[in-house]
Amino acid sequence: MLDVPQMNEEYNWVKLYKASGVAALVIVFIIPIQILIFTVFPPPDTTIAFIDLFHDNWVIGLLSLDFLYYINNALLILVYLGLFAALRKDNYANMLIALVFGFIGIAVYYVSTIGFEMMSLSKQYHSTESIEIRQQLLAIGHGLLERYKGTAFDVYYVFNTITLLIISNTMYKSNIFSKATAGLGTDCRDIYDYTVNSRNNRIGFFFNFFNSLDYFFNTNWKKITDNG
């Protein structure tokens, strides 16, 4: 009879803690860069301005339409998984619900992204002299910007608000978290209320995310160092 090797469950959780820690560190590095970009290069407020921006500097165009945020939200998946691992023994059901809402929110976020579509549209716009075609492309660009600011992005905000509030509530009842640390997640709600209907107002969400990273480092990073 063949011997089946036993899986080291604790070792596998530690690997997830470490992956989450690395993801969080990268996010911490990205956030001030994105804030600086929005400050130095404020996003345009019209369709033609975006089209011209991509024509003049496609890199700034992509950054103005949240290219770094594409990376941020991919890494956020690992951060949520790390928080799930840290709190799963305290309230598995709560953390599973939070994880589902968080993952759906992140998936919906990518539906609202339009960076590469706008870059393609800009190339088409500046490669034709036809006024009729340019008007059609402007209309398409306007539709893209409406999608960028529309329902999908609002759903992303609401679902991730739910995720943070559930995680915060679970942390509050956990013995491994301080009440102050757990309270940070609840405090994020006011920032979400302020920013949920305005995609251009990114800085509020970035400060919100600093709070979520704070309670990540107060827990998962300690587990990483404790477990080697």
pLDDT (tens place) for every residue of the chain, 228 residues total = 445 455 556 667 888 888 888 998 898 888 788 888 888 998 898 999 999 999 999 999 999 998 998 998 999 999 899 889 888 888 999 999 999 999 999 999 999 999 999 999 999 999 999 999 999 999 999 999 999 988 898 899 889 888 988 888 888 877 766 666 555 555 554 444 444 334 545 444 554 555 545 545 554 444 444 544
Q: Is residue 40 part of a domain?
A: yes
Q: Is residue 69 part of a domain?
A: yes
Q: How far is CA 114 from the centre of its chain?
A: 15
Q: Is residue 145 part of a domain?
A: no
Q: Is residue 90 part of a domain?
A: yes
Per-residue pLDDT at 10: 62
DSSP the chain: -PPPPPP-HHHHHHHHHHHHHHHHHHHHHHHHHHHHHHHHSPPPSSHHHHHHHHHH-HHHHHHHTTHHHHHHHHHHHHHHHHHHHHHTTT-HHHHHHHHHHHHHHHHHHHHT--HHHHHHHHHHHHT---HHHHHHHHHHHHHHHHHHTSHHHHHHHHHHHHHHHHHHHHHHT-TTS-HHHHHHHHHHHHHHHHHTT-TT--HHHHHHHHHHHHHHHTTHHHHHHHH-
Q: Position of tokens 């080291």?
A: 8
Q: How far apart are CA 57 and CA 59, in angstroms?
A: 5
Number of compact structural domains in the chain = 1
* Number of Cβ within a 10 Å radius of residue 131: 8
pTM (predicted TM-score): 0.76
Q: Is residue 161 part of a domain?
A: yes
Q: Amino acid letter at 14?
A: V
Q: Is residue 169 part of a domain?
A: yes
Per-residue pLDDT at 148: 92
Q: Is residue 14 part of a domain?
A: yes
- Domain of residue 68 covers 9-45+55-113+151-215
Q: Is residue 122 part of a domain?
A: no
Token output for 163 = 């995720």
